[in-house]
Each structure stands twice: as structure tokens, then as C-alpha cells.
Structure 1
Amino acid sequence: MKIGMNYKDENENLYMYDPVILVLSPLYVATLQEQVEQEAEERTPESLPRVSRAILSDYSEKIEAIASKLAAPPVRSYDLGSSVLDKCLQSLHSPY
């Protein structure tokens, strides 16, 4: 049984994408982007921005860098084998 979404690179090495990273990465990046947008909207009592455009731009660049690093990093694929998987499933369903 193989876990994750598999692909082969130019050298025919088999890799997989970790499904947890695939699901959580976009949510993490979206949360960071929303926080920057909220900071951009905040104003002082004098109606001035609380955070400068330069800082917001820097944050946005850092978020883009994080997003590119989290964009489905490859992991070497492996096969668990049915006997290992069966033992894992048995231990999950065992009362002891």
C-alpha cells in the first residue's frame, strides 16, 4: 500500500506528496495572508496606517517564500507491505 500522491522525477525516482502537507499548507498560507490584510486595514486614532506599506510588503514576500517551500515538497515513496499494514490495523483494533 502506498501513501500519498506519487510522481516520478527526470531520473525515474519515485516520490510522493504527503497528504497532510497538501491539505494544511494552503490553509496556513491563507491564514498568513488574511493576517497581513487585517494589519493593512488597521488604523491609528489619527487614521494613519498602524503598519507601514514597506513592512506589509516584506511580510507578503515572506509569505510567498513560505508558500513556495510548502508547495508539495517531494518525499521518497515507500511501500509498507501488507504484513506491516495488517499488524498496524490489528494493533489499532486490539483492546490491549
Structure 2
Amino acid sequence: MDLDADLDRLDRNRLAEEVRKLRAAIREHRDTSGMELCWHHPKLWGLLPERVEPEIAVPEWPQFLRGCVRYRQNLDEERPDAPRMTEEYQGERGTD
């Protein structure tokens, strides 16, 4: 099954519109910072034409926390120049 077959039916203007929409969503995700880096992103996945509920596996707390630590270590390796923040997480994430 070709998940992108719908693109073959779009004219040039509609394809360009789709590319702009996807680029905007990728930029929004790319420009996320702070605690927002850690969230589940159904809004981004919702831009795909197929409507499925992603089947995710949620790690147990010890594995999850080790993964968070490794992710943060990776940020130190990949972006040692990134500014550091000290703000604490303040509550529920907004809906999107």
C-alpha cells in the first residue's frame, strides 16, 4: 500500500500548499525548546493523511528516566553551546 498515493492526484499548487504546511509544522517542532522537547507530538503526526492512532509502547519509569538522561547527555554532545535554562516545569502541557 502506497501511503503517499494521494500526492499523485494533487496539482502543482496543491502540492506546494502541502509542502508549505509540512515545512511550517517541521519548523515549529524544530524550534521547540526547554521542556517542550520531551512531549508526545500528535499534532505533528496529524498532518499525515492516514488517520491512525499510533501504537506506542510506554517505557516503565526506570527505563524512561534513563532514556531522558541519555537524551540530555546527547544534547550536551550535539549542542554544547546551547544556552541553559533553570526554570522548573510549571504544569500541564497545552493541548495541540
Q: TM-score, normalised by structure 1?
A: 0.33
More strand by share: 1
- Which of the two has higher C-alpha Rg? 1
